[in-house]
Chains A and B, each alone.
Chain A
Amino acid sequence: MEPLLACSGLRRTFGDRVAVEGITFHIDPGETYGLLGPNGSGKTTTISMVAGILRPDAGEVWVAGRPLTTSSTDSKAAIGLVPQEIALYEDLSAVENLKFFGRLQGLGGRPLATRIERVLDLVGLADRARDRVGDYSGGMKRRANIAVGLLHEPRLLILDEPTVGVDPQSRNQILTSIETLGGEGLSVLYTTHYMEEAERLCDRIGVLDHGVLIAEGTRRELVARIGEHDVIAVELAGDDSEPEALAERCRALPAVSGVRVTGHRVEVLVDDADAVLATVIGEAATAGLPVSGVSVTEPNLETVFLHLTGRALRD
């Protein structure tokens, strides 16, 4: 399958500072790809080159089988960009902003009006469509910002930290919209420094640090790469419970990498908690040990980033 977006060896400097170096990744049709990294790691520079706004010093970008440069008008039509800033004219209404950017995409007349209605419905702004954007709340502006990126029904949607500074309700609405679009087959390039967003939305994740793509893969692949495990914690009931008995049974299971006992709590280390959880609980039942609680902890991308860079993601 030909990737919808293919970047190879992207490099960009600003004066003496190297912003990104040797970035190579691809996005398949219908895939949501996350670029995860702290502020200043090169995410925005990367997507600026991917969107044809910024000329790379080296490397290539291909979109839908065509090379993309700052002057590639046809390739750009396949891309919908949602910049990190609220890239809207605050003195115009949402509809006026959408009309303007829609016309720049070559839309007009009834088709444009229909699409405006559709995207405003999608982001939940239909009832405030004719209000000035300057009068919107921060969350509403963010949603209008996304609506413009979706207007011309691009094949690749690029979102640069679209939830920065929004309230939880708007944030959830934005994430749900992106999940919906991904489910409909839209390819998405999503940059964020919120690891929970990357985990929720992205099929694959690239970890950026100091302008270099230091790791790439699914969340599980990234976790496996650093040797971390899922943890199934079983809390046994009663003072006379025998946690060591359960621990012994679990150690005998082939999928278990290790077992720790702390008081009445037994922690079972596995690669895939979902696959082993029922077996572990079954062992407790077979041994006649009453269980008062079970929890599963999966190693997150924060852990991955810490392991890869020695720093927390928000440093």
Chain B
Amino acid sequence: MRQLRLTLVVAAADLRRRVRNRSALVVAFVGPLSLGVVFSVLLGGAGGSTFEVGVVDLDRSARSTDLVASLVAANAEQDQVRFVEVDDDAAARQQINDGDLGAAIVLGEGFASIEVLRDPEQPVTGQVAESVAQTIASGHERVALSVATLATLGAAPTDEVAAAAAEAPPALTLDDLPVGGRELSPGAFYGASMAVLFLFFTVGFAARSVLAERQTGTLARQLATPASPGAILAGKTMSVAVLGFAGFVTVWLVTSVLFGSPWGDPVAVLALMAATVLAVAGVATFVASLARTERQADAATTVTAFVLALLGGNFVGPNLPPLLRRLSVLTPNGWALRSFTALNTDAAGLGEILTALAVLIGMGLVFGAVGVVRVRRVMLQ
């Protein structure tokens, strides 16, 4: 009980010092918020912006005409994706080059092919178009499969069946998009992404401050009091965890309220934030514990933060290339961002992210335990 009280004394004092330190506030609040907004605008359009997708109908059948009409009609029901009918693929390419469209879906003659034209500078729009194209193809295959099944059974499709297949309504509704029931909010994704990145610098400060205070003598003075080394380290970690969590919540609230980028179920979001803070605290403590000086710890933390951010997809977006997708599961960033994306786009709840929570908490506890043992040893050297 006494050590718990002393932990809180250390945490309160450290938190007071962090709050007074402008650079700490920049790292915890201003950095992730501003970069989250910048990334949203640069890589996906800020929250609330529209993905412009062209649709080219080279088939010109009744079915394809209905499909295009249903897509354009969907514009009235939502404002995240806007479908624009374009005369031919050359015109679509021109409009993409001109920046008028982010991507285009080309329905080939006889529905023999569905091609997606992309603007490399608008990857998220390209992902949306690809998802729509896959859904169209899937619907088309279902109809073809029905006919093929009848043929396999020896029952040649009757004229009625063929007519029904031809007249079948397009399989596509926007609810079917693999990207999610709600469109991915760039503000939410990049807000979370930058918040996770900056957590390494905010939360990693605890172990680094032990090395710094060893130099200044304040650590020795604390160790000469009844506070145990564990209580001192726990207090320091608690203060930066509170600061990091507050920064995370701030990014969430600002992007949600000001930019209209909801992150999903609040309870699940808060639980995921807490688990992410724990995971990053563990990894950052472990990394700092490998260093002998504050400078070394700073350098190691920075390198680790950016390497994990690159591997975890912080800078890439939600749809990772296959190799990166496999590597991202090795990082807390990957688990956190995948779960934030699921909460944001799939309307997932706490139940759907339990595995991610367990992995993040596990990472935090394992790396943190090793880091604490090492830092404690440094404290008493």
**A residues in contact (CB < 8 Å) with B:** 48, 51-55, 70-71, 73-74, 76-77, 79, 81, 83-89, 91-92, 96, 100-101, 103-106, 148
Whether the pair A104, B218 counts as a contact (CB closer than 8 A) is: no
Complex interface bits, B313-330 against A, C-beta within 8 A gives 1, otherwise 0: 000000000000000000
Question: Given A70-B229, A88-B218, A91-B20 in contact, is the A100-B380 Cβ separation under 8 Å?
Answer: no
A81 CA to B225 CA, complexed, in Å? 9
Whether the pair B225, A105 counts as a contact (CB closer than 8 A) is: yes
Question: Given A73-B2, A76-B225 in contact, is the A83-B220 Cβ separation under 8 Å?
Answer: yes
Interface assignment of B17: CB less than 8 Å from any CB of chain A: yes
Whether the pair B9, A84 counts as a contact (CB closer than 8 A) is: no
What are 12 A-to-B residue pairs whose CB atoms are below 8 Å?
Answer: A51-B223, A51-B224, A55-B380, A70-B380, A73-B2, A73-B3, A81-B220, A92-B17, A96-B16, A101-B221, A104-B6, A104-B227
Chain B residue numbers with a CB within 8 Å of A71 are: 228-229
Complex interface bits, B1-19 against A, C-beta within 8 A gives 1, otherwise 0: 0110010011001001100
Whether the pair B222, A104 counts as a contact (CB closer than 8 A) is: yes
A81 CA to B221 CA, complexed, in Å? 7
Whether the pair A85, B228 counts as a contact (CB closer than 8 A) is: no
Whether the pair B226, A106 counts as a contact (CB closer than 8 A) is: yes
Whether the pair B228, A79 counts as a contact (CB closer than 8 A) is: no
* A-B interface, 9 closest residue pairs, ranked by CB to CB distance from nearest: A85-B217, A87-B217, A73-B226, A81-B224, A104-B225, A87-B221, A83-B217, A103-B9, A100-B13
Complex interface bits, B31-54 against A, C-beta within 8 A gives 1, otherwise 0: 000000000000000000000000
Interface assignment of B158: CB less than 8 Å from any CB of chain A: no
Whether the pair B226, A76 counts as a contact (CB closer than 8 A) is: yes
Chain A interface helix/strand/loop/mixed:
loop
A172 CA to B222 CA, complexed, in Å? 28
Complex interface bits, B194-233 against A, C-beta within 8 A gives 1, otherwise 0: 0000000000000000000000111011111111110000
What is the CB-to-nearest-CB distance from B250 to chain A, in angstroms, rounded to a whole number? 23
Chain A residue numbers with a CB within 8 Å of B226 are: 73-74, 76-77, 104-106
Scan residues 17-75 of chain B and give those whose CB is less than 8 A from a CB of chain A: 17, 20-21
Question: Given A70-B380, A91-B20, A104-B9 in contact, is the A53-B225 Cβ separation under 8 Å?
Answer: no
A54, A83, A101: the one within 8 Å of B225 (CB): A101
A101 CA to B10 CA, complexed, in Å? 9
What is the CB-to-nearest-CB distance from A217 to chain B, in angstroms, rounded to a whole number? 28
Whether the pair A87, B220 counts as a contact (CB closer than 8 A) is: yes
Q: Which residue of B lies closest to A74 (CB)?
A: B226
Chain B interface helix/strand/loop/mixed:
helix
8 additional A-B residue pairs with CB within 8 Å, beyond A54-B381, A77-B225: A51-B220, A53-B223, A85-B217, A87-B221, A89-B218, A100-B9, A105-B225, A106-B226
Chain B residue numbers with a CB within 8 Å of A51 are: 220, 223-224
A287 CA to B97 CA, complexed, in Å? 120
Chain B residue numbers with a CB within 8 Å of A79 are: 224
B216, B220, B228: the one within 8 Å of A48 (CB): B220
Most B C-beta atoms less than 10 A away, residue of A51, A71, A73: A73
Chain B residue numbers with a CB within 8 Å of A85 are: 216-217, 220
A105 CA to B381 CA, complexed, in Å? 22
A108 CA to B3 CA, complexed, in Å? 15
Whether the pair B223, A52 counts as a contact (CB closer than 8 A) is: yes
A48 CA to B9 CA, complexed, in Å? 23
A91 CA to B6 CA, complexed, in Å? 21
B17, B222, B381: the one within 8 Å of A91 (CB): B17
Q: Which residue of A lies closest to B10 (CB)?
A: A104
A73 CA to B10 CA, complexed, in Å? 16
A77 CA to B225 CA, complexed, in Å? 6
What is the CB-to-nearest-CB distance from B7 to chain A, in angstroms, rounded to a whole number? 11
What is the CB-to-nearest-CB distance from A270 to chain B, in angstroms, rounded to a whole number? 45
What is the CB-to-nearest-CB distance from B336 to chain A, in angstroms, rounded to a whole number? 32
Q: Which residue of B lies closest to A44 (CB)?
A: B220
What is the CB-to-nearest-CB distance from B365 to chain A, in angstroms, rounded to a whole number? 23
Chain B residue numbers with a CB within 8 Å of A54 are: 380-381
Most A C-beta atoms less than 10 A away, residue of B13, B225, B227: B225
What is the CB-to-nearest-CB distance from B224 to chain A, in angstroms, rounded to a whole number? 4
What is the CB-to-nearest-CB distance from B142 to chain A, in angstroms, rounded to a whole number? 67
What is the CB-to-nearest-CB distance from B265 to chain A, in angstroms, rounded to a whole number? 40
Q: Which residue of A lies closest to B8 (CB)?
A: A103
What is the CB-to-nearest-CB distance from B377 to chain A, in angstroms, rounded to a whole number? 10
Whether the pair B228, A52 counts as a contact (CB closer than 8 A) is: no
A55, A87, A96: the one within 8 Å of B216 (CB): A87
Whether the pair B380, A83 counts as a contact (CB closer than 8 A) is: no
Most B C-beta atoms less than 10 A away, residue of A48, A55, A92, A104: A104
What is the CB-to-nearest-CB distance from A226 to chain B, in angstroms, rounded to a whole number? 35
B6, B20, B216, B220: the one within 8 Å of A53 (CB): B220
A15 CA to B333 CA, complexed, in Å? 39
Chain A residue numbers with a CB within 8 Å of B229 are: 70-71
What is the CB-to-nearest-CB distance from A121 to chain B, in angstroms, rounded to a whole number? 21
Question: Given A74-B226, A77-B226 in contact, is the A91-B217 Cβ separation under 8 Å?
Answer: no
Chain B residue numbers with a CB within 8 Å of A92 are: 16-17
Chain A residue numbers with a CB within 8 Å of B20 are: 91
A70, A74, A86, A91: the one within 8 Å of B223 (CB): A70
Chain A residue numbers with a CB within 8 Å of B16 are: 92, 96
What is the CB-to-nearest-CB distance from B184 to chain A, in angstroms, rounded to a whole number? 42
A55 CA to B379 CA, complexed, in Å? 11
A74 CA to B226 CA, complexed, in Å? 6
A77 CA to B220 CA, complexed, in Å? 14
